[in-house]
A = this chain, B = another copy of it.
Amino acid sequence: MSGRPALTWRSALQKRRYSRGMELVEERLTAVATAYPGALGEACRATLAAGGKRVRPLLTLLCARRDAALSEPVLRGATAIELLHMATLVHDDVLDRAELRRGRPTIAHAYGVETAVSAGNYLLARAFQELVGAGDPAAVDVLSATAVGLSEGEVLQRDDAHRVTVTQAEYELRCERKTADLFAAACRLGAMLSGAAEQAAALSEYGRLIGLAFQVFDDILDCSGDEASTGKRLGADVRDGTVTLPLIFALEVHPELATLLSSKVQSAADVVTVLRTVAGSGALARARGVALGYIEGARRVLAACPDFVERDLLVEVAAQVVDRYS
């Protein structure tokens, strides 16, 4: 169900502790999704069943002190992070008017915008409810700051649509709000909720960096991936006017792309032209280099972390964020 190649977190899940932990998180997610009857419950169950990589809750477990990775507070933190992520996906599909997500119809498309808005609100409220039970107000503060940032990220992306003057720094800020802050929060909560608060800053930075890499690879896949394995239509960002890093780099070599990218209506042929031009410009390799730089930064951060967090497994997760593209 991953919808992406080569994202198995194999070694982590071969350890009984984490495979059991991820089962427990899945049970908690299922309990939330099945708690509600009717269309809203159906929409939540469909979101859950559509799968996804569950990388965020796994990061929460791996960033916890090893002896507390299956404790209730950590499991609650992992579940809350995935619920917030699910809420964001459901609302994003409303905002993007997307019809497919991971190869299946989106909730907004299958159940209507109204049910999607309510289902997203329900999942968001449930995320807070789940985390409150962990009894750590500072953890709830992390979740609410992340949720505020996510809504800001949505708006940044919309305000910047079709603006071909977006800089790499502006792109990075948007990726932080949209994606990396949630990865950072997943890691931070693992540390905070397992009595390793002194590791929270470093692990949060690790999360931020692999989150940034994750988003850059996602944006590369949108330009050059295989629709069958990504489960999305290629060139969605081009069509939405989302000026991603590969497009920023391609614009430097081919400034004439600006006309097509800033236009709000593109023909299928235009999209193909843009993608071919991007592929021929060296922009994809350059973007990949940026992402690998983030991963390298994440490895350096981990090297300084103590042994009671799963340093080796976290290095492997970082590597797999790269692998899914290679």
Contacts and interface: CB of A to CB of B under 8 A. Distances in A.
Interface of A: 36, 38-40, 91, 94-95, 113-115, 117-122, 124-126, 128-129, 132-133, 135-137, 140-141, 143-145, 147-148, 150-152, 154-155, 158-159
A115 to B, nearest CB: 7
A115 B157 CA distance: 11
Contact of A121 (B114, B119, B145, B151): B151
Given A94-B113, A114-B154, A124-B147, 17 more contacts: A38-B155, A38-B159, A39-B159, A91-B117, A94-B114, A114-B158, A118-B155, A121-B150, A122-B148, A122-B155, A124-B125, A125-B147, A125-B151, A128-B144, A129-B141, A132-B140, A135-B137
A194 B183 CA distance: 36
B152 A122 contact: yes
A137 B132 contact: yes
A154 B39 contact: no
A115 B36 contact: no
Contact of A144 (B115, B129, B145, B158): B129
Contacts of A121: 91, 120, 124, 147, 150-151, 154
A152 B95 contact: no
A133 B158 CA distance: 30
A131 to B, nearest CB: 8
A91 B125 CA distance: 14
A275 B136 CA distance: 52
Given A128-B147, A145-B129, A155-B40, A118 B95 contact: yes
Nearest to A32: B148
What 5 A-B pairs are tightest by C-beta distance, nearest first?
A125-B147, A128-B144, A122-B151, A129-B144, A121-B151
A155 B35 CA distance: 14
A319 to B, nearest CB: 33
Given A94-B117, A95-B118, A150-B121, A128 B155 contact: no
Contacts of A36: 152, 155
Contacts of A120: 117, 121
Given A39-B155, A118-B154, A155-B115, A148 B125 contact: yes
Contacts of A144: 125-126, 128-129, 132
B94 A158 contact: no
A36 B144 CA distance: 16
B113 A113 contact: yes
Contact of A151 (B118, B143, B148): B118
A132 to B, nearest CB: 5
Contacts of A151: 40, 118-119, 121-122, 125
Contacts of A115: 155, 158
